[in-house]
């Protein structure tokens, strides 16, 4: 199946795509643990020629945004492959708030003189539009990690850009079900498939999707040369995870809105950041560019870092762990992470899973009360 026919909703595509049409073929593409293939029939070596297992993942994720996808060993491998397209001396624009790995990669490259970096506030649409005219790589992440700022991607991606510039959107927090960067005009959309696509905290993978065929071939070439290929079992598990993405997201998102509303009323919570709450600074933009507000909530507890750490130790159903986008709810204090020291010391990032919402609330409420 090639891309998603307009007659199929994304929810159906997730279930139907990435399967063989051959009579007698397995209904699910199996994990094919092959480094090489018998010569004479196209594929010879997996790093250069791919495998049917990776291609199943690429068909599913690429089709969600009506583009061509390339799967990588991790989200960061996918990010690095995009930065790898830059010529020496390029200008890169990145958000003020973004995934610390992306900021780290950009700043490390700048320190070695490979490119220069400009940081722009995600809410400054005009500055981003200007960056589109001047920069070679315009790197957006929305909603952002962990402040959940929503950028006006529709306005930014439609801005005139420097010839050859790449407008990249890290779409990990939204997923293609909630946001379609390529439809807004972005050049590439990036997923850390480790998160929502995989959905079970048991794999690392990344996927880049583009409608630019030349760039798609270049990214395949970069993967072949740099070697950041997806693991076979990981690609298989990511496909299995993708099958239930719509269900998981719907449920977790409903839980997240309910928890955000209850947290906002909590006497020991000083601030709640969730794009679905009218109190969120970019709620109005979120309503325009997102189909759903996602499953991540950042909130501050009254007190100091020690109180916030105690909340993390106190939760039982919710696990004290990093990462996000999985069936299980996890929580961590973000300022405790290297490179994130600038964040409010009491900010807790909660990734809401698919558990019963009242059980989640009981756990959260008692953990907060016991910490004070």
> Cβ closer to ligand PLP: 72 or 371?
72
Token pair belonging to 287: 């309503």
Nearest residue to the partner ligand PLP, using Cβ? 75
Min separation Cβ 315 and ligand PLP, Å: 21
Out of 51, 53, 145, 298, the residue judged to bind ligand PLP by CB under 6 A: 145
Residue among 79, 115, 122, 126 nearest 97 (CA): 122
Min separation Cβ 289 and ligand PLP, Å: 16
Tell me the chain's radius of gyration from C-alpha atoms. Answer: 21
Q: Does 172 bind ligand PLP (CB under 6 A)?
A: yes
> Cβ closer to ligand PLP: 92 or 368?
92
Please answer whether residues 272 and 297 qualify as being in contact, where contact means their C-beta atoms are separated by less than 8 angstroms: yes
State yes or no: is 195 an active-site residue: yes
If you write DSSP's letter for every residue of 59-125 in order, what string do you get? HHHHHHTTSEEEEESSHHHHHHHHHTTPPTTEEEEEESS--HHHHHHHHHHHHTTSEEEEEE-TT-H
User: Cα(331)–Cα(348) distance, rounded to whole angstroms?
Assistant: 7
- Pick the piece of the chain touching ligand PLP (CB under 6 A) from 103-111, 170-178, 229-237, 255-263: 170-178
DSSP alpha helix (H) spans, 135-244 = 153-157, 175-178, 181-184, 213-226, 232-243
Residue among 115, 156, 104, 159 nearest 137 (CA): 115
| Sequence-separated (6 or more) residues with CB below 8 Å from residue 155 | 125, 129
Q: Does 101 bind ligand PLP (CB under 6 A)?
A: yes
User: Cα(109)–Cα(96) distance, rounded to whole angstroms?
Assistant: 17
Min separation Cβ 14 and ligand PLP, Å: 19
Catalytic choice (99, 136, 211, 251): 99
User: Cα(215)–Cα(213) distance, rounded to whole angstroms?
Assistant: 5
Q: Does 170 bind ligand PLP (CB under 6 A)?
A: yes
Min separation Cβ 173 and ligand PLP, Å: 6
Q: Does 349 bind ligand PLP (CB under 6 A)?
A: no
State yes or no: is 248 an active-site residue: no
- Pick the piece of the chain touching ligand PLP (CB under 6 A) from 74-82, 84-92, 159-167, 297-305: 74-82
Q: Does 206 bind ligand PLP (CB under 6 A)?
A: yes
Q: Does 332 bind ligand PLP (CB under 6 A)?
A: no
State yes or no: is 274 an active-site residue: no
Out of 129, 194, 253, 351, the residue judged to bind ligand PLP by CB under 6 A: 194
> Cβ closer to ligand PLP: 204 or 368?
204
Residue numbers annotated as active site: 47, 99, 170, 195
- Residues in touch with ligand PLP (CB under 6 A): 74-76, 99, 101, 141, 145, 170, 172-173, 192, 194-195, 204, 206
């Amino acid at each position: 199946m090639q891309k998603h026919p307009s007659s199929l909703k994304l929810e159906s595509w997730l279930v139907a795509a990435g399967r063989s049409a051959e009579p007698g073929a397995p209904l699910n593409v199996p994990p094919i643990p092959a480094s090489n293939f018998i010569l004479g029939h196209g594929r010879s070596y997996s790093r250069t020629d791919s495998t049917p297992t990776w291609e199943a993942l690429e068909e599913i994720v690429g089709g969600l945004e009506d583009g061509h996808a390339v799967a990588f060993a991790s989200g960061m491998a996918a990010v690095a492959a995009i930065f790898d397209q830059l010529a020496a001396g390029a200008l890169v624009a990145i958000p003020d708030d973004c995934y610390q790995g992306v900021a780290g990669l950009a700043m490390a490259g700048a320190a070695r003189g490979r490119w220069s970096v400009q940081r722009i506030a995600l809410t400054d649409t005009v500055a981003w539009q200007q960056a589109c005219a001047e920069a070679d790589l315009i790197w957006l992440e929305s909603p952002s990690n962990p402040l959940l700022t929503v950028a006006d991607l529709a306005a930014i991606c439609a801005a005139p850009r420097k010839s050859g510039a790449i407008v990249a959107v890290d779409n990990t927090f939204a997923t293609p079900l909630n946001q379609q960067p390529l439809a807004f005009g972005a050049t590439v959309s990036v997923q850390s498939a480790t998160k929502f696509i995989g959905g079970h905290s048991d794999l690392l993978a990344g996927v880049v999707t583009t409608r630019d065929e030349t760039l798609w071939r270049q990214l395949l070439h970069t993967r072949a040369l740099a070697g950041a290929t997806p693991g076979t079992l990981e690609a298989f598990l990511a496909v299995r995870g993708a099958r239930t993405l719509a269900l998981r997201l719907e449920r977790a998102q409903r839980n997240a809105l309910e928890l955000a509303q209850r947290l906002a009323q909590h006497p020991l919570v000083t601030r709640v950041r969730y794009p679905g709450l009218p109190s969120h600074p970019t709620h109005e933009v979120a309503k325009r560019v997102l189909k759903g507000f996602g499953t991540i909530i950042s909130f501050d507890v009254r007190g100091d870092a020690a109180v916030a750490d105690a909340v993390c130790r106190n939760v039982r159903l919710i696990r004290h762990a990093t990462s996000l986008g999985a069936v299980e709810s996890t929580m961590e204090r973000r300022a405790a992470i290297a490179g994130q020291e600038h964040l409010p010391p009491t900010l807790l990032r909660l990734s809401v899973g698919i558990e019963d919402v009242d059980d989640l609330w009981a756990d959260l409420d008692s953990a907060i009360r016991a910490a004070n």
